[in-house]
A and B are shown apart, each in its own frame.
Chain A
Amino acid sequence: MGVTRNSSELLLKIENLTRNFPVGTPSPGKSKNVLAVDNLSLEIYQGETLGLVGESGCGKSTLALTIAGFLNPSQGKIYFEGKDLSSRKVRKSCRTEIQMVFQDSYSSLNPRKNIYSILAEPLRINRLATKKDVAEKVYKLLESVGLPRHYTGKYPGELSGGERQRVNIARAISLKPKLIVCDEPVSALDLSVQAQVLNLLADLQKEYNLTYLFIAHGLGNVQYISDRIAVMYLGGIVEIGTSEEIFTHALHPYTEAFLNASPVPDPKYRREIHNILCEEAADALKTVSGCKFYGRCQYASGHCKENVPKLRFVQEGNTSHACACFLYEKFLY
């Protein structure tokens, strides 16, 4: 699917994006940089859901915040509908079109404002509603996320986690955005509520023709909502493909290990094997010359230590998607 799209559907294009954060003492010469996002390129197409998975600390949230404009890129460019977002003027004009839903539904809502003012404020500021029809629009937003009208008078503290996340989603769609960056929107919710919120996101996508970047640290829910999945490891994407390809024909050793690490809700899949990811945690501070997964990879050779693998399309068997690993050098096309 992702292979044959034409560029007219391209919504967001990230080119060689790097974002680093200084760590430790800020004294000259001693300061170290941690590369949260390292030379990453990614394309998101109109109307799709791109799932982004990876261990904590791999830079998925930094990427999300950079796309949404909360952080500036250290290097590289982000293009939204062909416009370069590094210019402040363009960024300002695109601000309503990229919205975000956060993991913690409580801290992302102002506890001292009721739901009405939370939802009315963006409409007012962006002049999307006149004084007369603000109320009407707010009720409509609440309705579209499945909350009753009388919730307008409530405060975030009175709502359950699932309801609060619905308010967050309502706020995100209020400005009619094209892209919504969802940073682990359901991780903090209960299982039965998770399903409700995921279905809501899927319904809204159809209704408003939205594009999602859906971030998760586990693989569970990503499969239900994503068209494509990108697997991230220490600031870079190691594999990207349709979700079926990733789940059924994972190529990169990291993806394979990551899939093995997630517990399967069926006792017949109980594992006996020792997973390679047990060995050592990913350390973003360590600078390596070659492949970042070198230290933990069971297939690693000397070649991997010296050279950095690029993300390239690999055709193997009945699958063809992009993967950054020297193992598939011979299958390249």
Chain B
Amino acid sequence: MALLTVEQLKIKFRAGNKYQQIVDGVDFSVRKGEVVCMVGESGCGKSVTALSLMRLHNMQFHKQKGCAQEGKILFHDVNLMSLSEKDMRKIRGNKMAMIFQDPLTALNPLFTVKYQMGEVLKRHLHMKKKEAYDFSASLLEKAGIRDVDRVMNAYPHTLSGGMRQRVMIAMALSCDPDLLIADEPTTALDVTVQMQILECIKSMQKRMNMAVLMITHDFGVVAEMADRVLVFYMGQIVEEADVFTLFSNPLHPYTKSLIGLVPNHREYKRQRLEPIKGCVSAIKETGEGCRFRDRCSYAGECFRKDNMPPLVKADMGHKVRCWQYETMPEGSESYGCHAEFI
């Protein structure tokens, strides 16, 4: 039984007089206790997808009709898109919580940590002040903070980046959520701190058996955390697989070359990188066909096909959106794309 099911999610933002399709028909599900990673380059719609699950993206746009949304988001079998804002508020931060890339802007600079953490507990779990204080202190301890008393009375700017992210995690987990959405939680952090935060998320996830939907562009983080991976390209999922299959047998040419580009310091080799040719074009410039075909070196036939390749099932739990994945050579190494600059 899936905890979260997203069906044909489409999100458009207004740019000038036209709408721009940012997320275009995304389908996926997250099961209980599972870690799903969304990867993709910037601008591929992964963050907007995540924000729309929490219904955070259209708050400021709603009034000006700057944003249009279609599809279904089923969480515990309730369609979040048809909920009233009042009911949504009961879910947000309670059964579904989110941590962000930049913890400094996500925390309120005017309030101490204890106040901000207590606010969540008072609101959702109806705790008293003293109770909330003790409970938040225990949460911070679980998130790996040692001098809890100092941190509780501190303002966000006095804490280090890693500490702030731990506070965010503790706060997000305070109501024992079923689903944690983590939007690039470690991108702004150092390698060593990144490792600590990932470890913290992982241990909490195991302890509470919650599902985690993690957004990242770092394949190292994916390899470390994920059970299942969704690869995004220009607002669509182009490949979905469990993490071991994705790294050993990627099917989509985009995934293949991306994985080929990730430096692996465990298997040292000095060689020339083979970048994907071109760069991500604006969505409006792509025609009806496959969106990757301009950058794909196997795309001979694909230019003649005018419709989008469907996300087909290639194997057990392995889906790919490509016309000719069956005829391509296997693995990421053999993918020969020639270096070409813009």
Contacting residue for A217 out of B162, B190, B262, B265, CB 8 A: B190
| Total count of chain A residues near the partner, CB < 8 A | 48
Question: Cβ of A266 and Cβ of B193 under 8 Å apart?
Answer: no
The answer to whether the Cβ of A208 comes within 8 Å of any Cβ in the partner chain is: no
The answer to whether the Cβ of B223 comes within 8 Å of any Cβ in the partner chain is: yes
Closest chain B residue, CB of each to CB of A247: B268
| Total count of chain B residues near the partner, CB < 8 A | 48
The answer to whether the Cβ of A55 comes within 8 Å of any Cβ in the partner chain is: yes
Question: Cβ of B270 and Cβ of A265 under 8 Å apart?
Answer: no
Question: Cβ of B219 and Cβ of A265 under 8 Å apart?
Answer: yes
Q: List 8 A-B contacts (CB under 8 A).
A: A56-B190, A219-B191, A220-B265, A221-B263, A261-B195, A267-B223, A270-B223, A274-B199
Q: Which among B162, B196, B222, B243 has the highest number of chain A CB atoms within 10 Å?
A: B196
The answer to whether the Cβ of B257 comes within 8 Å of any Cβ in the partner chain is: yes
Q: Which residues of A have CB within 8 Å of B276?
A: 192, 195
Question: Cβ of B224 and Cβ of A192 under 8 Å apart?
Answer: no
The answer to whether the Cβ of B80 comes within 8 Å of any Cβ in the partner chain is: no
Question: Cβ of A200 and Cβ of B270 under 8 Å apart?
Answer: no
Question: Cβ of A263 and Cβ of B42 under 8 Å apart?
Answer: no
Interface string of A189-231 (1 = CB under 8 A from B): 0111111101110100000000000000111110110000000
Determine the distance from Cα of A55 to Cα of B220 in the docked complex, in whole angstroms.
18
The answer to whether the Cβ of B56 comes within 8 Å of any Cβ in the partner chain is: no
Closest chain B residue, CB of each to CB of A220: B263
Identify 16 new A-B residue pairs, CB closer than 8 A, beyond the known A191-B41, A248-B268, A281-B193. Answer: A55-B190, A191-B261, A192-B41, A192-B275, A196-B275, A199-B339, A219-B191, A223-B265, A224-B270, A258-B191, A265-B219, A265-B262, A267-B223, A270-B223, A270-B224, A275-B195
The answer to whether the Cβ of B247 comes within 8 Å of any Cβ in the partner chain is: yes
Question: Cβ of A263 and Cβ of B268 under 8 Å apart?
Answer: no
Closest chain B residue, CB of each to CB of A198: B273
The answer to whether the Cβ of A92 comes within 8 Å of any Cβ in the partner chain is: no
Q: Which residues of A have CB within 8 Å of B221?
A: 263
Tell me the chain A residues, 21-62 only, with Cβ under 8 Å from chain B: 55-56
Question: Cβ of B41 and Cβ of A262 under 8 Å apart?
Answer: no
Interface string of B263-279 (1 = CB under 8 A from A): 11110111111111001
Q: Which residues of A have CB within 8 Å of B192?
A: 55, 257-258, 261, 275, 277-278, 281
Q: Which residues of A have CB within 8 Å of B194?
A: 261, 263
Q: Which residues of A have CB within 8 Å of B273?
A: 195, 198-199, 224
The answer to whether the Cβ of A105 comes within 8 Å of any Cβ in the partner chain is: no
Instruction: Give the interface of A toward B (CB within 8 A).
Output: 55-56, 146-147, 160, 162-163, 190-196, 198-200, 202, 217-221, 223-224, 243-244, 247-248, 257-259, 261-271, 274-275, 277-278, 281
Instruction: Sort A-B residue pairs by CB-CB distance and give the 9 closest, nearest first.
Output: A263-B220, A146-B341, A195-B275, A247-B268, A195-B273, A220-B263, A265-B262, A265-B219, A277-B192
Determine the distance from Cα of A274 to Cα of B203 in the docked complex, in whole angstroms.
12
Contacting residue for A163 out of B199, B261, B280, B342, CB 8 A: B342
Give the distance to chain A from B225, nearest Cβ to Cβ, in Å: 9
Give the distance to chain B from A262, nearest Cβ to Cβ, in Å: 5
Question: Cβ of A191 and Cβ of B217 under 8 Å apart?
Answer: yes
The answer to whether the Cβ of B218 comes within 8 Å of any Cβ in the partner chain is: yes
Q: Which residues of A have CB within 8 Å of B327?
A: none
Give the distance to chain A from B298, nearest Cβ to Cβ, in Å: 16
Question: Cβ of A262 and Cβ of B274 under 8 Å apart?
Answer: no
Contacting residue for B261 out of A195, A218, A243, CB 8 A: A195
Contacting residue for A218 out of B191, B198, B224, CB 8 A: B191
Q: Which residues of A have CB within 8 Å of B272?
A: 199, 202, 224
Give the distance to chain A from B341, nearest Cβ to Cβ, in Å: 3
Tell me the chain B residues, 211-263 only, with Cβ under 8 Å from chain A: 217-224, 226, 243-244, 247, 257-259, 261-263
Question: Cβ of B342 and Cβ of A162 under 8 Å apart?
Answer: yes
Closest chain A residue, CB of each to CB of B257: A192
Closest chain B residue, CB of each to CB of A57: B190
Determine the distance from Cα of A248 to Cα of B88 in the docked complex, in whole angstroms.
52
Interface string of B193-209 (1 = CB under 8 A from A): 11110110000000000
Q: Which residues of A have CB within 8 Å of B270?
A: 223-224, 243-244
Interface string of B159-197 (1 = CB under 8 A from A): 010100000000000000000000000000011111110
Question: Cβ of B275 and Cβ of A262 under 8 Å apart?
Answer: no
Q: Which among B42, B259, B341 has the highest number of chain A CB atoms within 10 Å?
A: B341
Question: Cβ of B41 and Cβ of A190 under 8 Å apart?
Answer: yes
Determine the distance from Cα of A177 to Cα of B164 in the docked complex, in whole angstroms.
42
Q: Which residues of A have CB within 8 Å of B222?
A: 265
Determine the distance from Cα of A89 to Cα of B279 in the docked complex, in whole angstroms.
45
A263 in contact with B224 given A190-B217, A278-B195, A281-B193 (CB within 8 Å): yes
Q: Which residues of B have CB within 8 Å of A270?
A: 223-224
Closest chain A residue, CB of each to CB of B245: A267
Q: Which among B219, B222, B226 has the highest number of chain A CB atoms within 10 Å?
A: B219
Closest chain B residue, CB of each to CB of A244: B268
Determine the distance from Cα of A264 to Cα of B226 in the docked complex, in whole angstroms.
13
